C-alpha cells in the first residue's frame, strides 16, 4: 500500500521532492516508511551537491559524553527519512537539536563520512592492532543505522565488521552480542551473523568454553537461544547423536565420578 510522500515547502529542500518514495508492506514487521535508495552521494551532479551543502545546519549530540556535530540539514534529509521526520515534527522542544545519547560517537563519526562521501573506511588498510576496534565501531554503526533506516550503510558496516573479525582473528563475545538482540528486529541479518558465531564457538571441539559462556544472552533473549540452536542444527550437517533412551543407563545416574554402578549393564531391548 502506497502512502503519500512528504513534500517539503517550496523554499526548502527543492531537490528532494522526487526522491522521497515511500511504501509500506503489511506482510512484514513494522519498520516505518521505506524510501527507495537515493543516488550515491559521490555520483550526484555538482549542482545537486552544492545544494546539499547549503541551507541550515542541524546540531546533533551523540553518546553519553554528548559529542556534537553540526551537519547540513539538506544532506541529512537526502539520506534519511528519520532525520526528515525530525524536521517535519519541528523539534519544537529542541529547536533543531537532535540527541542520540544511546549511540556510539565512533559509529556516528563513520556515518558522517558516509553521509558526505558515500563510503566508510576499509579495515584491510588498517594496522593489525586497530582492526578489532574498527570492527566493533562498525557493529555500533549498524545498530545506529537500524534506527536511522539506512540499509546501504548497514550493508557496508556488516561487511567491514566481518572482515575486521576475520583479519583480527577475533569474534564478539556475549557482551557484544547482547546489544544486537536488544536493538535490532527479529529479521536482522546481524542477529543471524552473531548467532552463527556463537554456535560455531559452542561446536568447536578445541574451544575451552561451552554454552554457559552465553548464559546472559540466553537469559535476556529467547530469540538468541532459538537462533543459536537452529544454527547448531544447520551446522551439524544432519548428523544425529545416539538415542538417549537406548544408551548406557549409568550416564543418567547419580554417583561419584569413577564409582562403579550396578545398573551400568542396563540396555533397552528393542
Return the exposure string of 71-87: e unless at least 16 CB atoms fall within 10 Å of the residue's CB, then b.
bbbbbbbbbbbbbbebb
- Higher confidence at residue 35 or residue 97? 97
**Tens of pLDDT along 113-134?**
999 999 999 999 999 999 999 9
For the chain, helix, strand, coil in percent to 5 are: 50, 5, 40
pLDDT at 22: 35
* pLDDT exceeds cutoff 80 at 59: yes
Q: What is the CA radius of gyration of the chain?
A: 25
* DSSP label of 40: P
pLDDT band at 94 (very low <50, low <70, confident <90, very high): low
Rounded Cα distance between 185 and 162, Å, is 20
Rounded Cα distance between 211 and 137, Å, is 26
Rounded Cα distance between 70 and 61, Å, is 9
Rounded Cα distance between 217 and 155, Å, is 24
* pLDDT exceeds cutoff 60 at 198: yes
Amino acid at each position: 500500500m502506497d502512502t503519500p510522500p512528504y513534500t517539503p515547502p517550496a523554499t526548502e529542500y527543492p531537490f528532494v521532492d522526487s526522491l522521497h518514495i515511500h511504501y509500506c508492506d503489511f506482510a512484514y514487521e513494522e519498520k516505518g516508511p521505506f524510501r527507495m535508495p537515493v543516488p550515491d552521494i559521490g555520483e550526484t551532479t555538482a549542482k545537486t551537491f552544492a545544494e546539499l551543502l547549503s541551507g541550515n545546519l542541524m546540531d546533533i549530540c551523540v553518546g553519553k559524553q554528548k559529542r556534537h556535530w553540526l551537519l547540513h540539514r539538506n544532506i541529512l534529509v537526502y539520506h534519511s527519512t528519520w532525520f526528515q521526520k525530525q524536521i517535519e515534527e519541528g523539534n519544537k522542544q529542541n529547536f533543531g537539536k537532535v540527541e542520540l545519547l544511546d549511540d556510539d560517537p565512533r559509529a556516528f563519526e563513520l556515518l558522517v563520512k558516509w553521509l558526505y562521501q558515500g563510503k566508510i573506511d576499509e579495515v584491510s588498510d588498517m594496522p593489525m592492532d586497530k582492526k578489532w576496534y574498527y570492527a566493533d565501531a562498525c557493529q555500533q554503526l549498524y545498530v545506529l543505522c537500524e534506527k536511522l533506516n539506512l540499509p546501504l550503510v548497514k550493508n557496508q558496516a556488516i561487511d567491514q565488521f566481518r572482515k575486521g573479525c576475520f583479519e583480527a582473528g577475533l569474534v564478539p563475545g556475549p557482551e557484544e552480542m547482547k546489544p544486537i538482540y536488544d536493538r535490532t528486529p527479529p529479521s536482522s541479518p546481524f542477529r543471524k551473523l552473531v548467532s552463527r558465531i556463537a554456535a560455531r564457538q559452542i561446536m568447536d571441539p578445541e574451544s575451552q568454553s561451552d554454552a554457559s559462556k552465553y548464559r546472559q544472552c540466553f537469559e535476556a533473549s529467547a530469540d538468541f537461544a532459538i537462533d543459536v540452536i537452529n544454527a547448531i542444527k544447520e551446522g551439524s550437517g544432519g548428523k544425529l547423536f545416539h538415542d538417549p533412551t537406548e544408551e548406557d543407563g549409568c550416564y543418567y545416574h547419580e554417583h561419584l565420578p569413577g564409582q562403579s554402578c550396578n545398573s551400568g549393564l542396563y540396555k533397552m531391548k528393542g
